[in-house]
């Protein structure tokens, strides 16, 4: 009867698996995210095959490249690693797997900022234009969804127009709206190549104040107004109220939530050091995110949970 009266249950179709693909081809456990691995391009194919076999519809792709440059133009080169990833995965999986591209300058620039800055000021237009160029070449290589992560004003507008100009009207934009959070830390260590401290603009200032829901909703309004097809609320756990709010104000807008690296680390720590049952814990968090209104959840547990759902109803 409990199952009968339940309004929803997290299903495999709700899950998006984030993967880290390394240009140097080395496969090893990500030190800051125990249980998750860096993948080579070939490993990425087998991991994506697992996702397809388990019924997980989409992956979020993070490329870890060998050489970053000053302005990130390495992203636009014909032999750019990200383009190889999309070409390879699109050729292998076609329409059986949705390829989402995390598009941000920090993946390509030596200073690892998400935006261009000048004298301590964020250059929104310049950043947005470059993100548009990156989105266009990645769509051409096979990305199905562009997920701009820089939080730059104008980024969605520039990406939409760059995509449309080249005839990629069917490539969707899924825009990140992030609150500032210490929960991103394990991810930053996973993606960062430099241990150099950043000078100039504090990158936490690009994100929305963690307690200011007005700023958050202004960002949502801006991105939706510029043509975002979906938004990602990030992190999930500390923003459940904001997921409710977005869903309330935009009932027709698909909303994703990102259970980020710090949330993943918390669950792992509870499991390993406080003897919680990992499956029960993970399902409770994912169901709470879903109940808040998320249509999709990005989680490092995606494959684990899909296998769990497929294999048994024990956590039901
Ligand atoms: Zn970034």
Phi-psi region of 230 (alpha: psi -120 to 50; beta: other; left: phi over 0): beta
Tens-place pLDDT, residues 167-177: 999 999 999 99
How confident is the model at residue 3, as a pLDDT? 87
Two tokens at 206? 């690009």
H or E element: which one contains 88? helix 81-93
CA of 311 to the centre of ligand 1 (A): 36
Q: Does the pLDDT at position 307 exceed 70?
A: yes
Helix axis angle, 240-249 relative to 213-226, nearest 10°?
A: 40
Task: Give the pLDDT confidence of 235-255 residue by residue, as tens digits.
Answer: 999 999 999 999 999 999 999
Catalytic residues: 178, 234
The string of pLDDT tens digits covering residues 102-161 is 999 999 999 889 999 998 889 999 999 999 999 999 999 999 999 999 999 999 999 999
Q: Are 139 and 196 in contact (CB under 8 A)?
A: no
Bridge-based pairing of strands 117-118 and 121-122 is antiparallel
**Across 181-185, 202-206, 217-221, least confident range:** 202-206
Distance between Cα 158 and ligand 1 center (Å): 17
CA of 150 to the centre of ligand 1 (A): 5
DSSP state of 99: E
pTM > 0.85: yes or no: yes
């Amino acid at each position: 009867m409990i199952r009968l009266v339940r309004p929803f249950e997290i299903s495999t179709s709700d899950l998006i698996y984030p993967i880290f693909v390394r240009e140097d081809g080395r496969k090893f456990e990500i030190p800051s995210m125990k249980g998750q691995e860096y993948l080579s391009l070939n490993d990425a194919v087998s991991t994506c095959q697992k996702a397809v076999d388990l019924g997980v519809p989409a992956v979020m792709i993070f490329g870890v490249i060998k050489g970053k440059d000053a302005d990130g133009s390495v992203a636009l080169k014909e032999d750019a690693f990200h383009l190889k990833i999309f070409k390879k995965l699109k050729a292998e999986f076609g329409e059986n797997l949705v390829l989402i591209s995390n598009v941000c300058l920090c993946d390509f620039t030596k200073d690892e900022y998400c935006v261009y800055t000048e004298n301590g000021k964020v250059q929104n237009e310049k950043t947005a234009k470059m993100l548009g160029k990156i989105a266009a070449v990645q769509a051409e290589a096979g990305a199905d969804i562009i997920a701009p992560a820089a939080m730059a004003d104008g980024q969605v507008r520039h990406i939409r127009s760059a995509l449309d100009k080249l005839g990629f009207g069917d490539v969707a934009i899924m825009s990140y709206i992030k609150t500032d959070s210490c929960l991103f830390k394990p991810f930053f260590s996973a993606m960062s190549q430099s241990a150099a401290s950043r000078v100039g603009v504090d990158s936490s200032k690009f994100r929305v104040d963690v307690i200011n829901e007005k700023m958050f909703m202004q960002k949502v309004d801006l991105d939706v107004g510029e043509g975002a097809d979906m938004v990602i609320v990030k992190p999930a756990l500390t923003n459940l109220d904001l997921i409710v709010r977005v869903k309330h104000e935009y009932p027709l807008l698909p909303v994703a939530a990102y259970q980020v690296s710090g949330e993943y680390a918390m669950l792992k720590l509870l499991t390993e050091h406080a003897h919680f049952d990992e499956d029960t814990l993970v399902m409770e968090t994912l169901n709470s995110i879903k109940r808040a209104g998320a249509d999709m959840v990005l989680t490092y547990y995606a494959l684990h949970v899909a296998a769990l759902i497929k294999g048994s109803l024990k956590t039901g």
